[in-house]
Amino acid sequence: MLKIEHLLALMDLPALGRGRSRSIAGAADAGVSSLPELYERIKYACLTAKPAVLPPYSELERAYTGALRLIEGARRQGIVILSPYTGPFPQALAHIPSPPAVLYAKGNAGLLDKLQAVAVVGTTEPDASAAEYGRALALALAESGFCIVSGLAKGCDTIAHTTCLECNSPTIAVLAHGLDYCYPAQNRSLARAIVEKQGLLISEYRPGIRPRREFFVARDRLQSGLSLAVCVIETGISGGTMYTVRFAEKQGRLIGCIDNRAQGNRLLIDREGAYPLIPGHNIHAFIEAVKAIKRNYR
């Protein structure tokens, strides 16, 4: 296994590219004890997999110095850095397509161990009925022992997280930026409350990175990846929620959807076979179906 500082330095070498960096990290199963040894691994990879540009050793030294600063800065902010190449890592994410090479976590990182989670997602502007049903759904899931995953956005995400906090159940927020930032700004207090109440904030982006549109799409694969199932409160036919659903389909996750008149909900239920969720009627049947799911990591 690599040391985290060696991995971060490796990932910060633009000449290698993300794919070759991952390949070098994955091949270092016997461990790398020094920077010169890491450079020898890089040199070998560049010689055996052309075309490749070998970065100068000074570039690796620069990246290593930056990695040490990043680690210390994260430590001061209470952020833990995880990677499948350096030590314990949530198996749910290690086995999805395009798994994150690095994960930053703030709060109760123990939630990622033997995780039994369900993602609850939806539009930023749900109508009153959908909001009420969303709270009922999140409450039923939390009371059944599931950790709820969402994205800290306003609307349905906020409903999911706040419902967990109100019933003292842990929740995980997956963010599309560094953990030293909060988007939307109106949810800063919610982010703090999640950490204070033994929940967790996670991101694949280092502190200092601000949100970009493509980061939100990439973030959605982690929401579904962490979860046994994805539940939709309300959605249109297009939008961020549908990205999460599409990732869930590719990852083989169970999909549930509040049975209402929203166009996206109707599409998912009527045409794509999503489990129709009717609060007060069949949510517990859905919960039993989720509990029956067995993950097999090989």
What is the chain's alpha carbon radius of gyration, rounded to the nearest angstrom? 20
Are both 138 and 258 inside the same structural domain?
Answer: yes
148 and 250 co-located in one domain: yes
| End residue of a domain, out of 18, 52, 76 | 76
Report pLDDT for 8.
Answer: 96
**What is the reported pLDDT for 17?**
82
Q: Give me 6's structure tokens.
A: 């060696």
Q: Which residues of the chain have pLDDT under 70?
A: 28-30, 49-52, 296-298
The pLDDT, as a whole number, for residue 103 is: 98
Cα separation, 93 vs 204, whole angstroms: 11
d(CA 169, CA 83): 26
pLDDT for the residue 297: 61
Check whether residue 25 and residue 162 sit in a common domain: no
Residue 29: predicted pLDDT: 59
Helix (H, G, I), strand (E, B) or coil at 106: strand
Domain boundary among 76, 93, 123: 76
Q: Is residue 103 part of a domain?
A: no
Say if residue 177 is in the same domain as residue 249: yes
Place of tokens 């097999």: 296
pLDDT at 50: 64
Q: Are residues 285 and 168 in the same domain?
A: yes
Same domain, 62 and 183: no
The DSSP bridge partners found for residue 121 are 232
Q: Among 76, 97, 130, which residue terminates a domain?
A: 76
Q: Judge if 58 and 117 occupy the same domain.
A: no
| Other Cβ atoms within 10 Å of 74 Cβ, number | 22
Same domain, 66 and 206: no
Domain enclosing residue 21, as ranges: 4-76
Cα dihedral value 264, 216, 170, 144, nearest 10:
30
Instruction: Output the six-digit token pair for 282.
Output: 């069949």
How many structural domains compose the chain?
2
Together in a domain, 120 and 200: yes
Note the pTM of the prediction, 2 decimals. Answer: 0.95
Q: Is residue 157 part of a domain?
A: yes
Domain-embedded: residue 96: no
pLDDT of residue 28: 67
In a domain, 16, yes or no: yes
Residues counted in the chain: 298
Residue 101 lies in a domain: no
Place of tokens 């950790």: 147
